[in-house]
Amino acid sequence: MKKYLKRLWNAIWDSTEIDEKAIAALKEAKSRISEMKKELADVKKAAKNVAAQTKDVIDAAKGKKRRGKKPYKNKKTKTNNNTKK
């Protein structure tokens, strides 16, 4: 009787698609987790940027000058006068 039930259980288990569905679900979960890791890295980078900019806002409230690009200095641009006409 025990062998019969064991064979019956194996036959039922083999005929179902539960294994395939479980494997597909696991694969989907892994791909979603990897995408979430990428997005979290982007969020972390953006949060660091926000933190840095809030420091600038605090400095501006204190009256300090903006820390950004340095002012443009008038440099003479080189022109290419050696072109053949």
The answer as to whether 30 is a domain residue is: no
Is residue 7 included in any domain, yes or no? no
How high is the pLDDT of residue 71?
64
In this prediction, residue 79 carries a pLDDT of 60
pLDDT at 27: 92
Instruction: Return the pLDDT at 16.
Output: 64
Return the pLDDT at 4. 86
Identity at 83, one-letter amino acid code: T
User: For 26-63, how does the pLDDT look when each residue is reduced to its tens digit (9 = 90+)?
Assistant: 899 999 999 999 999 999 999 998 888 888 888 888 88
- State how many domains the chain has: 1
The string over 30-44, giving b where at least 16 C-beta atoms fall within 10 Å of a residue's C-beta and e elsewhere, is eeeeeeeeeeeeeee
User: Which structural domain, as residue segments, surrounds residue 49?
Assistant: 37-64
Residue at 21 is within a domain: no
